[in-house]
Structure 1
Amino acid sequence: MKPSLPQGYEISSSPDRLDRALIHRWLSTDAYWAVGRPRELQEAAIEGSLNFGVYETATGSQVGYARVVTDRATFAWLCDVYVAPELRGRGLGNGLVAAVRDEVAALGVYRIMLATADAHEVYARAGFAPLEEPGKWMVLGRA
């Protein structure tokens, strides 16, 4: 399954291209899982992660973001997936998630996890599925 974006958009994992202020604004004000997240915490999260941006090719403006926490060998956690509200429904999220999946798989990582309360169909198109045995998994920390 090759990732594709609508014409006029591109994905980059270059940290130099990230619009960190925009990412913080998106997540801290509009993402149910990160509302109120302090800028310093977001910066630390970016620094400790593999980051992906979606950009308009004509302007270079960032229109989407995803972050992966990984050991780059066996495990990855996909999080903070976000597409600008005015551009949702155009396939940007599908292309972003597929590109993340492929780049992380190319590292040799064989398990990518995520948690979401919505957009399950976006992740399913990239091959994600519910846990077969959720009773095996445990968590420590905030809900």
Structure 2
Amino acid sequence: MKCLNKPWSISVCREVALADLARQQRLRLIWSRKWFRDAIEASTDPSLLNYRLIAQWLGATIPDSRALILALNNSLCFGLYRNGRQIGFARVVTDMAETWVIRNLFISPEYRFVGLGSWLLHCCLSHPGTRGCRHIVAMGEPVPDFFERNGFIACPSLPGIWVTASHDGINDPICARSASSH
């Protein structure tokens, strides 16, 4: 787009430039990332995801396969792998500006209770996309106290919802009121 030096076009050019910068930043943020812990790897590379396995794990949550594929393709997905075999999964729905929602965190039953769920959650929280996000929310049906042990606060008024106690120094007002009532 060519900018003209007229007063009305300056703001349009600035908006186009800001939109272009936002697109570039989004591409940098969704670029594949990896974390390692001994023989375990966490990755955001979508080509590594085992869609059949994820469909088995999330079948009760998202029973429609078309809806599941749409959800996975439009989310930032974290896979957990051991020797190339997928053993865990977490999905993040985000605008990469203010809100980061962690959904569908799942660890294969034979790998539970050794800290891999907490580590995968930490990988989700340490992703560069969380920088600047004011609201980090976790949604799901985890084992009792899982999110609380990992720094989240339950929202009694919203079952299945947990928020970070504080992120960037800002408390979530809805759940702050709920947390103070019990």
2:41 match: secondary structure? strand
Deviation at 1:106, TM superposition (A): 4.2
Q: Which residue of structure 2 aligns with residue 25 of structure 1?
A: 56
CA distance in 1, matches of 2:111, 2:88: 9
Alignment TM-score, normalising by the size of structure 1? 0.77
Q: Which residue of structure 2 aligns with residue 49 of structure 1?
A: 75
2:68 partner amino acid: Q
> Which structure has the highest helix share of the two?
2
CA distance in 2, matches of 1:14, 1:107: 20
- Asked whether 1:60 is paired with 2:84, we answer yes
Does the 8 Å CA contact 1:5/1:95 hold for their aligned counterparts?
Answer: no
- Asked whether 1:114 is paired with 2:158, we answer no
Q: 1:11 aligns with which of 32, 35, 42?
A: 42
Does the 8 Å CA contact 2:42/2:78 hold for their aligned counterparts?
Answer: yes
1:100 match: secondary structure? helix
Q: 1:100 aligns with which of 124, 141, 148?
A: 124
Q: Which residue of structure 2 aligns with residue 38 of structure 1?
A: 64
Q: Which has the higher contact order (CA 8 A, sep 6+)?
A: 1
Alignment size in residue pairs: 125
Alignment TM-score, normalising by the size of structure 2? 0.62
Unpaired stretches in structure 1, ≥5 consecutive residues: 136-143
Q: Which residue of structure 2 aligns with residue 133 of structure 1?
A: 177
RMSD over aligned CA atoms reads 2.2
- Structure 1 residues 48 and 23, CA, compared in 2 at 3 Å: closer, same or farther? same
- Asked whether 1:76 is paired with 2:100, we answer yes
- Which string of whole-angstrom CA distances, capped at 9 and with x for unpartnered residues, describes residues 80-132 of structure 1? 11000111101110100011011155442221112334335332233211221
Does the 8 Å CA contact 2:105/2:140 hold for their aligned counterparts?
Answer: no
1:132 match: secondary structure? helix
Deviation at 1:61, TM superposition (A): 0.5
1:76 partner amino acid: W
CA distance in 1, matches of 2:53, 2:121: 19
1:114 match: secondary structure? strand
Tell which structure's C-alpha radius of gyration is larger: 2
2:42 match: secondary structure? strand
